[in-house]
Amino acid sequence: MEWADELAARVTGPQVVNDSKTPSGTVHVGSLRGPVILDVIARALRAAGHDTTLLYGVDDLDPMDAQALLTPDAVGRYMGVPLAHIPDQVDDGHASYARHHAGVFIDTFAGLGIQPDRYYWMSEQYAAGDMDPYIRTALDRADRVRDVYRRVANVRHPDTWHPVSVICEQCGRVGTTIVTQWDGERAFYECRPDLVTWAHGCGRSGWVSPFGGRAKLPWNLEWAAQWSLFGVTIEPCGKDLATAGGSRDRSDAIAREVFEREPPINVPYEFLLIGGRKMSTSKGQGVPAHRIAEVVPPEQLRLLFLRPRPNHAIEFEPEGTDAIPRLFDEFDRLAAATAGRPVKGELPPGYAAVFRYSLVDPNADPAAEASAFRISFRRAAMFVQGRLDTDQRAAEEKGSALTDGQARMLKERLVAAGRWLELYAPPNERFVVARVAVPGSARALNTGQCRFLRTLADDVERTTPRTGEDWQAVLFRTAESVGLEKRLAFAAVYAAFLDRPDGPRAGWLVADLFAEDSEFVLKRLREAAAGGTLVP
């Protein structure tokens, strides 16, 4: 986390931090890495005393292009049309396709504690004429732009190529047009049927004024023009754009040579990989950002993106794995370490800052947050599947009543665990207590296991253990006293209560059931030990 504080230490003067996104369709969870990094940079700058403005833009005059085809949302007849000019395909009140997908994505920001000072929409900037000076400069210096492309990216445009795309007056497409002449006020464009493979132009050609929203700059020039328009000083970008000769290099060169301004400081960041694959935008089977934000609470989601340095990829596969429980465990571990408690395993460098920047509220007291009592995620998942008064049970484990804040945190984890069990958890994390009758698998227990269950019933009737830890100790002690392998002892417990060979931590499972109904537990242990239902 020192990277953000180091960055804040080496800049001077007021800072403008910017990022923008093309709303091609449903936005994948990995796309949250940029906004989280952006927010941490802004927090670090402000903590260092810099006057800081955080901007977030939507590149909504971009056409629906090949990128949209990677999402489940592309609409064939609008290929090549600016995203801001395509009707919302979901009937929920947004003004356009762009407003819908950008809106659903941006709506996750506030919950994550990311609060840009201002959002901007490029369709509005163009329409207001804010981009006109840059369009004029780019056209006047078209030869210099072509030269930059040739030198930096080895892309050779013909001498007639001009760096602006007119929105076709006939078919409304912007992805299919090319400008071949510029007379100082008007541009001559052609809407070509075969300019790109993913959209077909209508064949129209003519002279038009490229100003006031009738045309847009190609991405590399638009990016550089944004830096000039907003005075951007720092802009992180994804690794795919930061390659040698790639998008960022081109825009940097255009900023210097065409718009005559030093480009902002770059903070390149790596991808979030799902099952080892990069997913920039969601395919049908991907994980949309707004969906994951419904399952993973904000502080754990921030941690997901902040634990590795920006230049390290993140592996995250929530589907059918324990990736989400592990994320919570890591959060709790960093909290414990920050609070000065001993923890297992190696700690990441700057772990206290990682914890601090994971908090949603930038003004929260990290020491108080770190030492707060938390029920583990896995324990919350057991609570959700039981029938307990969870506040009371949690208070017993804490040793005193929960504060309001702790009760809120417990509620948050119960909701998260419930959603996780519903959507992502592997089948063995879900369990149902066989409450009505002794399950079938208990009939297959061997004599050693039956003796274990009988002895266990006698022991707990006498000692009435209360907590999961107490119960865990009794299970171990009893297994040892009857000379039964621990593996077989635990299997007997799972068979008796869950009708399966494994399950969540046995001590806590039975402790919860015992707290709820001790008679049921004693009866079930004896019934299972007898190989069937006990006749009273």
Nearer residue to Zn ion within complex by CB, 204 or 523: 204
Residue 199 in contact with Zn ion, rule: CB under 5 A: no
Q: Do the beta carbons of residue 85 and residue 23 sit within 8 Å? A: no
In the chain, the largest separation of any two C-alpha atoms, in whole Å, equals: 101
- Among residues 88, 257, 332, 412, the one that binds Zn ion under rule CB under 5 A: 88
Residue 94 in contact with Zn ion, rule: CB under 5 A: yes
Interstrand relation of 272-274 and 277-278 (parallel, antiparallel or unpaired): antiparallel
Nearer residue to Zn ion within complex by CB, 201 or 325: 201
- Among residues 66, 153, 202, 522, the one that binds Zn ion under rule CB under 5 A: 202
Tokens at residue 444, please? 């297959």
Nearest distance in Å: CB 126, Zn ion = 18
**Angle 429-435-440 from CA coordinates, rounded to 5°:** 80
Residue 92 in contact with Zn ion, rule: CB under 5 A: yes
Stretch that binds Zn ion, among 83-91, 228-236, 308-316, 318-326 (CB under 5 A): 83-91
Q: Do the beta carbons of residue 16 and residue 230 sit within 8 Å? A: yes
Q: Provide the mask over 100-129, with x wherever binding to Zn ion is found by CB under 5 A and - wherever it is not.
A: x-----------------------------
Nearest distance in Å: CB 96, Zn ion = 9
Tokens at residue 105, please? 């994505």
Residue 204 in contact with Zn ion, rule: CB under 5 A: yes
Q: Do the beta carbons of residue 388 and residue 515 sit within 8 Å? A: yes
CA separation for the pair 166, 177 (Å, rounded):
6
Q: Which residue has the tokens 């390659």?
A: 243
Nearer residue to Zn ion within complex by CB, 23 or 163: 23
Interstrand relation of 118-121 and 52-58 (parallel, antiparallel or unpaired): parallel
Nearer residue to Zn ion within complex by CB, 88 or 412: 88
Nearest distance in Å: CB 216, Zn ion = 15
Q: How many CB atoms lie within 10 A of CB 454?
A: 17
Interstrand relation of 177-182 and 187-191 (parallel, antiparallel or unpaired): antiparallel
Q: Which residues contact 216 (CB under 8 A, 6 or more apart)?
A: 61, 62, 82, 122, 126, 131, 164, 165, 167, 174, 222
Nearer residue to Zn ion within complex by CB, 205 or 376: 205
Taking alpha carbons only, the member of 61, 34, 102, 51 closest to residue 233 is 51
Q: How many residues bind Zn ion (CB under 5 A)?
A: 12
Q: Do the beta carbons of residue 62 and residue 22 sit within 8 Å? A: yes
Stretch that binds Zn ion, among 156-164, 198-206, 394-402, 462-470 (CB under 5 A): 198-206
Q: Which residues contact 254 (CB under 8 A, 6 or more apart)?
A: 145, 148, 220, 221, 224
Nearer residue to Zn ion within complex by CB, 82 or 201: 201
115 Ramachandran zone, left/alpha/beta (phi>0; psi -120 to 50): beta
Stretch that binds Zn ion, among 84-92, 225-233, 277-285, 521-529 (CB under 5 A): 84-92
Nearest distance in Å: CB 295, Zn ion = 22
Nearest distance in Å: CB 106, Zn ion = 12
Stretch that binds Zn ion, among 8-16, 69-77, 154-162, 196-204 (CB under 5 A): 196-204
- Among residues 2, 14, 51, 90, the one that binds Zn ion under rule CB under 5 A: 90
Stretch that binds Zn ion, among 25-33, 55-63, 119-127, 188-196 (CB under 5 A): 188-196
Tokens at residue 337, please? 């370490």
Nearer residue to Zn ion within complex by CB, 203 or 501: 203
Nearest distance in Å: CB 90, Zn ion = 4
Residue 95 in contact with Zn ion, rule: CB under 5 A: no
Q: Do the beta carbons of residue 48 and residue 5 sit within 8 Å? A: yes
Q: How many CA atoms lie within 13 A of 465 on its CB side?
A: 24
Nearest distance in Å: CB 131, Zn ion = 21
Nearest distance in Å: CB 173, Zn ion = 5
Nearest distance in Å: CB 7, Zn ion = 36
Residue 255 in contact with Zn ion, rule: CB under 5 A: no
CA separation for the pair 448, 464 (Å, rounded):
23
Indicate the Cα dihedral angle 127, 132, 136, 138, nearest 10°. -80
Stretch that binds Zn ion, among 123-131, 186-194, 432-440, 481-489 (CB under 5 A): 186-194
Nearest distance in Å: CB 73, Zn ion = 11
Residue 171 in contact with Zn ion, rule: CB under 5 A: yes
Residue 170 in contact with Zn ion, rule: CB under 5 A: yes
Q: Which residues bind Zn ion (CB under 5 A)?
A: 88, 90, 92, 94, 100, 168, 170-171, 191, 201-202, 204
